[in-house]
């Protein structure tokens, strides 16, 4: 049957060139669902022009929540009018990597997606995402809050790699949305938290969300960290900015036998101080994405009241004004999470 319905999407060409276009509203098969987008967060990776522009034009948006409006006949776990968060990348649960708890290495996780992207009026959710990546929202969670599920789950995944513990001191470099999610997760684990950023506004947010100590990036030093940490540097350093001087700070402030997590990456290659890492047995990790288990654990933390989504959302824009939201994210000034809603 021919579909004569159309919908609006935001087609990305560059951070300053995002075009509202009409495309055919997708049809679903018996194993798929159609979701009406109610909220979709703008991720920091969405504005990484060096990464996104070469893949365009395309419809971005992966922090999406909405209302189920159509359900395939063979779908039994989801029904019309369900309020859901949909994960864009899901593992297959059947390959070598999945069977060894290495979900982020699964080919299906990297290759799959919903269509056409979260910055559209309707999203077609394929079978695998219906089975493994569609989650009913907890009672009381708003659609806007649900746009925080994916970024918070990524922080859960990152600190699971690090095995963050109560006795440890965690230095989080960068207090944007990624840094603030890591502050919240480290706080739930009982760690001592140090936050650094160039922005006074963001440092105030870091205190609000649980940092024990905050420093301007231009004022932090080895001696300052040792002064508040019993003469030692940080057990864990988490990089949440792609700023090159911050990369150098990552290696400067980690203690012997410590751990580094590159949660953000710069656009250029990273030069490793290999001799220092070797002599001090410092471990370096990278983190990409979140598994369904990480999302489930995030939802549990929300339901127990241990993490705060609501206060992280500072700005909202209708789909037709999405480019303004991208500009705010790129400016990285007085904003945290920016959410796009339908017009």
| Predicted confidence (pLDDT) per residue in 163-186, tens digit | 999 989 999 999 999 999 999 999
pLDDT of residue 336: 94
Q: What is the mean pLDDT of residues 258-287?
A: 91
Instruction: Please state, in angstroms and rounded to a whole number, the distance separating the CA atoms of residues 104 and 90.
Output: 9
Sequence ranges of the chain with CATH classification 3.90.180.10: 6-148+309-341
153-286 is a CATH 3.40.50.720 domain: yes
Q: What is the mean pLDDT of residues 116-135?
A: 96
Q: What is the mean pLDDT of residues 257-276?
A: 89
pLDDT of residue 266: 77
Residue 48 scores a pLDDT above 90: no
Sequence ranges of the chain with CATH classification 3.40.50.720: 153-286
Residue 124: beta bridge partners? 34, 115
Q: Are 61 and 119 in contact (CB under 8 A)?
A: yes
DSSP 229: T
Average pLDDT, whole number, for the chain? 94
The band of 271, judged by pLDDT with boundaries at 50, 70 and 90, is: confident
> Which range has the worst mean pLDDT, 25-29, 47-51, 220-224?
47-51
Half-sphere exposure of 66 (CA within 13 A, CB side): 30
Q: What is the mean pLDDT of residues 80-104?
A: 94
Q: Which residue did the predictor score with more confidence, 152 or 242?
A: 152
Instruction: Please state, in angstroms and rounded to a whole number, the distance separating the CA atoms of residues 86 and 114.
Output: 9
pLDDT of residue 2: 44
Q: What is the mean pLDDT of residues 43-69?
A: 90
* Displacement of CA 324 from its chain's centroid (Å): 20
The band of 56, judged by pLDDT with boundaries at 50, 70 and 90, is: confident
CA torsion 323-216-211-192 (nearest 10°) is 130
Q: Are 86 and 125 in contact (CB under 8 A)?
A: yes
Tokens matching residue 245: 């001087």
The band of 34, judged by pLDDT with boundaries at 50, 70 and 90, is: very high
The band of 135, judged by pLDDT with boundaries at 50, 70 and 90, is: very high
Count of CB atoms situated within 10 Å of the CB of 109: 26
Q: Residue 115: which of 58, 71, 73, 154 has the closest Cα?
A: 58
Q: What is the mean pLDDT of residues 256-264?
A: 96
Share of the chain above pLDDT 90, in %: 87
Q: CATH class for domain 6-148+309-341?
A: alpha beta
The band of 332, judged by pLDDT with boundaries at 50, 70 and 90, is: confident
Tokens matching residue 338: 């920016």
pLDDT of residue 4: 65
Q: What is the mean pLDDT of residues 310-320?
A: 97
Count of CB atoms situated within 10 Å of the CB of 190: 12
The band of 3, judged by pLDDT with boundaries at 50, 70 and 90, is: low
> Which range has the worst mean pLDDT, 11-15, 157-161, 227-231, 262-266?
262-266
Residue 122: beta bridge partners? 36
């Amino acid at each position: 049957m021919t579909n004569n319905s159309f919908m609006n999407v935001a087609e990305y060409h560059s951070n300053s060139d995002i075009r509202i276009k009409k495309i055919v509203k997708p049809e679903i098969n018996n194993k798929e669902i159609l979701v009406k987008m109610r909220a979709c967060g703008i991720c920091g990776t969405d504005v990484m022009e060096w990464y996104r522009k070469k893949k365009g034009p395309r419809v971005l948006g992966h922090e999406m929540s909405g209302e189920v409006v159509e359900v395939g006949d063979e779908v039994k776990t989801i029904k019309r009018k369900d309020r859901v968060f949909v994960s864009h990348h899901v593992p297959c649960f059947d390959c070598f990597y999945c069977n060894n708890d290495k979900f982020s290495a699964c080919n299906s996780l990297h290759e799959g997606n919903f269509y056409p992207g979260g910055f559209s009026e309707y999203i077609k959710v394929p079978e695998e995402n219906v089975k493994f990546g569609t989650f009913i929202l907890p009672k009381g969670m708003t659609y806007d809050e649900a746009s925080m599920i994916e970024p918070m789950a990524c922080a859960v995944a990152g600190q699971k790699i690090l095995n963050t513990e109560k006795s440890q001191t965690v230095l989080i470099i960068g207090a944007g949305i990624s840094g603030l999610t890591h502050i919240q997760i480290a706080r739930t684990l009982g760690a001592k938290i140090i936050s650094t950023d160039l922005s006074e506004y963001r440092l105030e947010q870091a205190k609000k969300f649980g940092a024990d100590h905050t420093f301007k990036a231009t004022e932090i030093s080895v001696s300052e960290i040792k002064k508040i940490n019993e003469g030692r540097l940080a057990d864990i350093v988490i990089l949440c900015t792609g700023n090159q001087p911050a990369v150098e700070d990552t290696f400067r402030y980690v203690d012997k036998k410590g751990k580094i997590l590159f949660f953000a990456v710069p656009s250029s290659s990273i030069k490793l101080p290999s001799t220092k890492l070797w002599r001090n047995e410092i471990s370096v990790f990278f983190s990409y994405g979140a598994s369904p288990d990480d999302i489930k654990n995030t939802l549990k933390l929300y339901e127990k009241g241990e993490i705060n989504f609501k206060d992280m959302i500072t700005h909202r824009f209708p789909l037709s004004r999405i480019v303004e939201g991208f500009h705010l994210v790129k400016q990285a000034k007085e904003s945290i999470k920016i959410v796009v809603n339908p017009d």
